[in-house]
Amino acid sequence: MSEWYSLDDVADRLGLHVRTVRNYVRDGRLSAVRIGKQYRVSDADLRALTGSSGGSSRPRRIEATSVLDVDGIDPDAAERLEALVRGLPKGPRAPHVDVVRDGDRLKVIVVGSVEANAELLRFVAAMAGEAA
């Protein structure tokens, strides 16, 4: 048996104003059934609007891409920092890291989980601060 939601319920779930949800219904972006003077939205129609499958038990994967730009670093310090970053442990949960050097500038590009990005960037920033 599927659940049915009032427009107020849908607005609360989506963090929207109820007037916005009414506009979604009027514009056809959200399917709803009129029962008396009120609209009801099925669970399936709400999932269709939000793009969630509802049946998946797999957690959503969220990744971040960060670029740390170290300016004014001497070539020897940049080389040491690059070797240190490239030598970090690899694994399924480890972020993908790329390092680009251009003169006295070093860029560290990190792609991975938000937590791994933050941890690695804090590490690189601390090491770059020591290398300066």
CATH number of the domain residue 36 falls in: 1.10.1660.10
What is the per-residue pLDDT across 8-42, written as a single tens digit (0 to 9) for each?
A: 999 999 989 999 999 999 988 899 999 888 999 99
Helix, coil or strand: residue 96: strand
Percent of the chain with pLDDT over 90: 25
Helix, coil or strand: residue 48: helix
**Dihedral (Cα; 123, 125, 128, 130), 10-degree rounding:** -80
Residue 46 lies in a domain: yes
| Same domain, residue pair 77 and 36 | no
| Same domain, residue pair 39 and 69 | no
Q: What is the pTM of this model?
A: 0.51
* Cβ 94 vs Cβ 112: under 8 Å: yes
Structural domain range at position 101: 64-131
CATH number of the domain bearing residue 81: 3.30.1370.120
Query: From residue 44, how far is each of 6, 51, 103, 115, 132 by CA, in Å?
Result: 14, 10, 56, 33, 56
Mean residue pLDDT of the chain comes to 84
Q: Which long-range contacts (CB under 8 A, 24 or more apart) does 15-24 make?
A: 24/49
What is the domain count for the chain? 2
